Amino acid sequence: MTSQKPLPHVTAARAAGLAALLDATDPAAADERAGIAERHFERARRARAARRQAPATPDAGAPSPPADAPAAEAAREYLHAAPTRSPVLNAFLNELGAEREALVPANVHVFDEHTLAPRLVEIARERVVSMLLAVGRTDVALTLAQMPRIANERAARLFMRQAVHVGGDLGAITRDYARHYRRSGAPDRDDQRAACIMATFAGRLSAMAEKLLGPHVRAELRAALEQLTSRGGAPARRARASELRAPQGAGRSAAPTAALGAGATTRPRGR
């Protein structure tokens, strides 16, 4: 098979011809230089167009998975219909194994569905310091212990970013949240799927804490969930001050109606 590389004497001759062409000042040489430049730019334009048409790598903006992560992560289900009526609480409980029903009753009521996911992340974060101490990472545990409490979704999201490059289920859940948050336009509220993914992250971290620290973690989770929920249906609406001042058994418009009736009886009738 013959080589396509030009011979040295041919290359030298082309270089000498190009040098002479660049030094020439006649109109014919100028036209030839313009033609060479035009052909060069056309080749460069075609190369750029070919690169733009190449298939893009999917999820190019997503955080890169760790080296030991599987090539294709199986799709995880984040929306669950059981064991309670709260999708966010269900996402948390489904990461805690078969005994999740013992943590809360099926008819439990969540006080605030919108703020539940960040609170669950805070409950899980409280166990991280003990987990780090258990594995001998005292320096990291002391640093993490100085962090403020997670009070809202933004703080929970910043905490979750620390696990983007972690292997296993925890890292996969975090990357799923990052992809969903980017594709959905980064909504601030009322994103049920984002809240369920965040609650799943908290549940997975709590399950890891229970495995490492012992069964007392589940009892602590039960006590923490009792502060966020109530048994049975939704609590009754608190009475307004105007309703408390109204006579017992009277409706919202009873007082104005009674006043009008009283005024009508005291007005003398004309003859």
Domain count, the chain: 1
> Of 158, 203, 202, 151, which Cα lies nearest the Cα of 181?
158
Tell me the C-alpha to C-alpha distance, in Å, between residue 60 and each of 57, 64, 182: 6, 9, 12
pLDDT band with cut points at 50, 70 and 90 for residue 173: very high
- The answer to the question of residue 76 being in a domain is no
Closest by CA position to 123, among listed 22, 29, 32, 207: 207
Chain segment 90-105, per-residue pLDDT in tens: 999 999 877 766 788 8
Nearest to 100 by CA among 191, 234, 168, 200: 200
The residue that leads in pLDDT, 156 or 234, is: 156
For residue 154, tell me if it sits in a domain. yes
Q: Both tokens of residue 193?
A: 């799927």
Yes or no: say if 173 and 149 are a contact pair by the CB < 8 Å rule: no
Q: Which domain holds residue 182?
A: 87-97+107-230
Specify the higher pLDDT residue, 198 or 164. Answer: 198
pLDDT at 257 exceeding the cut of 50 = no
What is the predicted pLDDT for the residue at 107? 86
51 in any annotated domain? no
The distance of Cα 224 from the centroid of its chain, to the nearest Å, equals 23
For residue 124, tell me if it sits in a domain: yes
In a domain, 262, yes or no: no
Rounded Cα–Cα distance for residues 23 and 219 (Å) = 89
Is 158 part of any domain? yes
Is residue 56 situated within a structural domain?
no
Give me the residue label for tokens 């998975």: 65
As to burial, measured by CB atoms within 10 angstroms (0-12 exposed, 13-18 middle, 19+ buried), residue 169 is middle
In a domain, 168, yes or no: yes
